[in-house]
Amino acid sequence: MKEFFYEIWIDIRKNKAAFAGLILILIFLFLAVFAPLLSPFFPDQVIDGALRLPPNSHFQNYYFVFGTDDIGRDLFTRLLYGSRVSLLVGLSVVLLAASLGTFLGLVSGYFSGWTDRIVSRTMDFIMALPSVLFAIVIVAVLGPGLINAIVAVSIVALPNFVRLIRAQVLAEKSKPYVQAAQLYGASHFRILFKEILPNCMAPLIVQGSLGFSDGVLNCAALGFLGLGAQAPTPEWGTMLSDARSFLETSPWMVNLPGLCILLVVLSFNLLGDGLRDALDPRLKNRA
């Protein structure tokens, strides 16, 4: 496995776009982890009178790089803390959807028959509905909130993982190395997790990276609709929604969280594409 990741690293380093994506992700990660140290204020701290100050402005003894919002909170601080929320949301969505999706995909691909039929039809059902709409329905049932939004977005992301892993399993399970394992009496469990799963890692990693950006985007969308993180949580989507009415007078309140969402989503997509190039044997000639 070590060599596997080393090879990926070599390929990513050669791919300029993917490498840029990776650097951006690392920067966001750094900002998220050290947000308390880097930020001049607390995310909920209201500075009296500092309403909707534009970026790069001084107010009393304070300096606001990115300006303030409509009730006088420092935008820079809130964006920093927002990166914590977004990355955590993305990570949770990917972990949830990937682990459950991989399990379902493995099982339905390996044991064809009714297991496969039930899983596949359920996934078809989820995919048949527009994803954000379906997420809204789930949140509406569970109640608004960040955790519920994560659950809803994970469910929406599930079919991508299930279908991917299932297709991979179908391709792998007919290969002779699986038959050889059957012949020496390896259990289904062992064949699934020790023989087949390691061969599904490549597409899984790619989908994980792309799923991360989907998760961030969908959660931001739910936040924007008021169904995700609730005020005063500094979540980019929620911030965007709160600032909507000030679009004309104080555009930075809308632009900056929007830009953050864009950058995170873009960097994960770039990395995902790079990983796809690195891992898909059809796109790569291993001479």
Partner 1 sequence: MSLLKVTNLKKSYITKNLFGPQREQKILKGISFELSENQILGIVGESGCGKSTLAKVLTRLEPFSGGEITFTGKDLKSFSPKEFPYQIQMVFQDPYQSLNPRKKAWEIIADPILVTENISRLEAKQRALQMMKKVGLLAETCERYPHQFSGGQRQRLGIARALMLRPKLLILDEPVSALDVSIQAQVLNLLLDLQKEFQLSMIFISHDLSVVKHISDRTLVLYFGEIVEMGPSREIFERPQHSYTRKLLESAP
Rule CB under 8 A: say whether 175 interacts with partner 1: yes
177 touches partner 1 (CB under 8 A): yes
Q: Does 176 bind partner 1 (CB under 8 A)?
A: yes
Give all strands (DSSP E) within the chain, no chain letters.
57-59, 62-64
Question: Which residues have C-beta within 8 Å of that of residue 25, sequence separation ≥ 6?
Answer: 264, 267, 268, 271
Q: What long-range pairs does 137-144 form, CB within 8 A, spacing at least 24?
A: 139/222, 139/227, 139/228, 140/227, 144/226, 144/227, 144/228, 144/230
Q: Which of 199, 225, 263, 266 binds partner 1 (CB under 8 A)?
A: 199
Among 60, 61, 113, 185, binds partner 1 (CB under 8 A): 185
From candidates 186, 231, 263, 266, binder to partner 1 by CB under 8 A: 186
Tokens of 103: 């399990």
User: What is the C-alpha to C-alpha distance for residues 138 and 152, in angstroms, rounded to an integer?
Assistant: 6
Q: Is 48 in the site for partner 1 (CB under 8 A)?
A: no
180 binds partner 1 (CB under 8 A): yes
Q: Is the dihedral of CA 235, 239, 240, 242 positive or negative?
A: positive
Q: Is residue 8 at the binding interface for partner 1, with CB under 8 A as the rule?
A: no
Query: Using the rule CB under 8 A, is 201 a contact of partner 1?
Result: yes
> Of 52-60, 96-104, 175-183, 235-243, which segment contacts partner 1 by CB under 8 A?
175-183
Among 36, 130, 198, 251, binds partner 1 (CB under 8 A): 198
Asked if 42 touches partner 1 (CB under 8 A), the answer is no
Length of the chain as a residue count = 287
Residue from 140, 179, 251, 280 binding partner 1 (CB under 8 A): 179
Q: What ranges in 129-198 are assigned the alpha helix state H?
A: 131-142, 146-173, 176-183, 188-190
Interacting residue ranges for partner 1, rule: CB under 8 A: 1, 3-4, 175-177, 179-187, 190, 195, 198-199, 201
